């Protein structure tokens, strides 16, 4: 009996050891690597560890130094950075090299090998690939490494893994609107750091619009002296009549020095900054500064509310002289191949009444104002092409004829991207249905003010950028996708991070990882580790993924019913309507129920028998209003 008992204890011990190993080996990398294997063994990084880089290679040295600085941020030590030629040996070290020599990994792929915990090597064909490998390596660290307030850690234990990984799409973008509300340089850098963490490679920087001109142009100082400032700002959605304004002057702009600083900062993180200079519409701020560029001559103002405005750039020659000089300075600041010129939401009212615009239609042999817009965009495209650049425009640039080499950014659904690809043009998908992160991500009743709509993280994760309507050949014109962050209702940096985190993590996996590896439940299980990272970094973020959405629906017999929704995979909702605390003995939601006389609805979410979050509650009225 004792022998059997001893054997049982031994087996139990082995199970516990394996459980411990499994717990240690939980890998939470986002975006999910293409191939990942977990081995036995632990790699221990401590004060004796070095970061060794293949030399001579200045780019790898910079990556190695940045990794050392990051590790030092939450540690009691900083790894030494050593060129391989001086290393003598590699033991208990991290080795960065560009000797992968495998074309299948392209310019962005990488391999990580930990050699059963003896050392870690990150190999790629390019420095960019090594950089992305480092981002994955950094996610193997516990969240405490991000905590600058706790630098007592003398070592870090990392799981022994083998990773082979590369990107699915070449264009992986995030957008930031600074015209409606602008943000400090340090926050823009932090935003870029978040993009780098999730392997995004483009930042679309929306710098001009009706509500403010945010880029210094030395040839036209009034653009920032006048166009960067609005007299006041609309409060809320403006549904009330009359509208309510805050009465406070708002504005600011980025100097050319600051812009260079941000562009250089992004480049070190392998992120290309694409500027957007809006034309021919969304030009109120520019027209307020230089009214002679409009059709009526003004007066114009920097707009204080949101929407589409009828005053746009006139097609007179003075306008093109102005725009070309503006673009000359933009090109000096931004080395990106692409320049975004907007091209969206351009009412034709002023052009129809303008003698000079009508004369332009006649002299150029155009059919109407839509073709005039196409002519306008094509003229700008030729200018940029002559300077070695290409244009991106919102999908309205398809109207009246697409410029020859233009790339379309499809935002009004996916039709624009489909049309562009079928015409042989490149397209970037950014439909409002899935990629607008200024939309609500949870129940509007308890979420911060947002633009509108409803785009929960599960919907972002479910997005597929390649439309079914395209052939395999046409699909190659879909360069990737982008999430847009418009800031009408986002005033502070913490508002931005709340709206993008963790939804930008979801889109990063859509854009980087193979389709076959995407799994919502698996992604959800990896999210808590990222919440811990955000917390350690002191960044505001959303937990709306665990929120219960409450909505009123009207049944066929006109009875108002209550419907409850959760994104949590295998999530179960238990609720009470009498004020008592809900648990697994309470009513379980499985279908909409009659509203009746409910004052307070209390709900508790469970998953796999465990509570998810705290009790949630809503004050419910019998009214049919939502």
Report the alpha-carbon distance of residue 626 to residue 454 in Å, rounded: 14
Residue 596 has a pLDDT of 73
On the CB side of 614, CA atoms within 13 Å amount to 3
Express each pLDDT in 173-222 by its tens digit: 999 999 999 999 999 999 999 999 999 999 999 999 999 999 999 999 99
Residue 622 has a pLDDT of 64
Burial grade of 46 (CB within 10 A; 0-12, 13-18, 19 or more): middle
The answer to whether the CB of 409 falls within 8 A of the CB of 431 is: no
Q: Where are the domains of the chain?
A: 27-165, 171-539, 548-619
Report the alpha-carbon distance of residue 188 to residue 492 in Å, rounded: 12
Fold of 27-165: Chitobiase; domain 2 (3.30.379)
| Helices 185-197, 256-267: inter-axial angle, 10-degree rounding | 20
Residue 5 has a pLDDT of 38
> Which CATH superfamily groups domain 171-539?
Glycosidases (3.20.20.80)
Kindly indicate the confidence band of residue 315, based on its pLDDT and cuts at 50, 70 and 90.
Answer: very high
Residue 117 has a pLDDT of 72
Per DSSP, the three-state class of 92 is: coil
Report the alpha-carbon distance of residue 239 to residue 229 in Å, rounded: 24
Report the alpha-carbon distance of residue 100 to residue 105 in Å, rounded: 9
Beta bridge partners of 409: 394, 428
Residue 465 has a pLDDT of 98
Instruction: Kindly state the percentage of the chain with pLDDT values over 70.
Output: 95
Express each pLDDT in 3-30 by its tens digit: 443 433 333 343 333 333 334 468 999 9
The set of catalytic residues is 209, 282, 345
- Asked if the domains 27-165 and 171-539 are classified in one and the same CATH topology, the answer is no
Express each pLDDT in 105-142 by its tens digit: 999 999 999 977 789 999 999 999 999 999 999 999 99
The answer to whether the CB of 520 falls within 8 A of the CB of 32 is: no
Tokens at 301, concatenated: 């103002």
Using alpha carbons only, give the angle 276, 277, 281 rounded to the nearest 5 degrees.
120
Task: Name the more confident of 406 and 239.
Answer: 406
What is the three-state SS of 137-167?
HHCCCCHHHHCCCCCCCCEEEEEEEEEEECC
pLDDT mean over 542-550? 96
Q: What is the pTM of this model?
A: 0.94
Using alpha carbons only, give the angle 525, 529, 534 rounded to the nearest 5 degrees.
130
Kindly indicate the confidence band of residue 96, based on its pLDDT and cuts at 50, 70 and 90.
Answer: very high
Report the alpha-carbon distance of residue 188 to residue 192 in Å, rounded: 6
Q: Assess whether pLDDT exceeds 60 at residue 45.
A: yes
Residue 623 has a pLDDT of 61
β-pairing verdict for 110-113 and 80-83: unpaired
The answer to whether the CB of 278 falls within 8 A of the CB of 260 is: no
Q: What is the mean pLDDT of the chain?
A: 93
């Amino acid at each position: 009996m004792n022998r059997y008992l001893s054997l049982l204890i031994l087996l139990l011990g082995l199970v516990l050891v394996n459980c411990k190993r499994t717990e240690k080996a939980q890998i939470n990398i986002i975006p999910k690597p293409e191939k990942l294997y977990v081995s036995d063994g632990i790699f221990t990084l401590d004060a004796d560890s070095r970061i060794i880089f293949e030399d001579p290679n200045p780019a790898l040295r910079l990556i190695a130094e940045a990794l050392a600085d990051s590790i030092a941020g939450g540690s009691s030590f900083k790894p030494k950075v050593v060129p391989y030629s001086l290393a003598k040996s590699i033991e208990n070290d991290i080795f960065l090299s560009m000797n992968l020599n495998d074309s299948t990994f392209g310019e962005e792929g990488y391999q990580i090998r930990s050699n059963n915990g003896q050392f870690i090597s990150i190999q790629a064909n390019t420095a960019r690939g090594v950089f992305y490998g480092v981002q994955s390596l950094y996610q193997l660290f516990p969240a405490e490494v991000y905590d600058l307030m706790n630098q007592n850690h003398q070592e870090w234990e990392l799981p022994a893994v083998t990773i082979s990984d590369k990107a699915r799409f070449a264009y992986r973008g995030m957008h930031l609107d600074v015209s409606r509300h602008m943000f400090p340089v340090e926050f823009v850098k932090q935003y870029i750091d978040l993009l780098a963490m999730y392997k995004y490679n483009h930042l679309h920087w929306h710098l001009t619009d009706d509500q403010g001109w945010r880029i210094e142009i030395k040839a036209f100082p009034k653009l920032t002296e006048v166009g960067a400032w609005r007299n006041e700002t609309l409060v809320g959605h403006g549904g009330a009549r009359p509208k309510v304004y805050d009465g406070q002057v708002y504005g600011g702009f980025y100097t050319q020095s600051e812009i260079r600083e941000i562009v250089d900062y992004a480049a070190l993180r392998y992120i290309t900054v694409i500027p957007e200079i809006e034309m021919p519409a969304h030009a109120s701020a520019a027209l307020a500064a230089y009214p002679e560029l409009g059709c009526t001559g003004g007066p114009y103002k920097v707009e204080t509310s949101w929407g589409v405005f009828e005053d746009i750039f006139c097609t007179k020659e003075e306008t093109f002289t102005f725009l070309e000089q503006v673009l000359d300075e933009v090109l000096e600041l931004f080395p990106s191949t692409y320049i975004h010129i907007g091209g969206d939401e351009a009412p034709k009212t002023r052009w129809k009444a303008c003698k000079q615009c009508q004369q332009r239609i006649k002299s150029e042999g155009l059919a109407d104002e839509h073709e005039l817009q196409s002519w306008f965009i094509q003229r700008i495209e030729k200018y940029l092409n002559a300077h070695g650049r290409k244009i991106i425009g919102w999908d309205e640039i398809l109207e009246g004829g697409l410029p020859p080499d233009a790339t379309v950014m499809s935002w009004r659904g996916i039709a624009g991207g489909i049309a562009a690809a079928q015409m042989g043009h490149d397209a970037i998908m950014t439909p409002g249905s899935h990629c607008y992160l200024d939309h609500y991500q949870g129940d509007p009743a308890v979420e911060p003010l947002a633009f509108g709509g409803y785009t929960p993280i599960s919907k972002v994760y479910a997005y597929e950028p390649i439309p079914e309507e395209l052939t395999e050949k046409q699909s190659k014109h879909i360069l990737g996708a982008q999430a847009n962050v418009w800031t009408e209702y986002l005033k502070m940096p913490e508002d931005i991070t709340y709206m993008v985190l963790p939804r930008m993590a979801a889109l990063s996996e859509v854009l980087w990882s193979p389709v076959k590896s995407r799994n919502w439940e698996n992604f959800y299980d990896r999210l808590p580790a990222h919440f811990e990272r955000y917390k350690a970094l002191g960044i505001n973020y959303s937990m709306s993924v665990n929120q219960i959405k409450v909505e009123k629906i009207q049944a066929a017999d006109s009875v108002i019913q209550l419907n409850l929704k959760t994104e949590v995979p295998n999530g179960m909702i238990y609720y009470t309507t009498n004020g008592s605390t809900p648990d697994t003995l309470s009513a379980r939601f499985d279908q909409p129920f009659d509203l009746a006389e409910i004052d307070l609805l209390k709900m508790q979410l469970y998953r796999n028998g465990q509570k998810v979050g705290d009790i949630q509650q809503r004050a419910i009225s019998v009214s049919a209003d939502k």
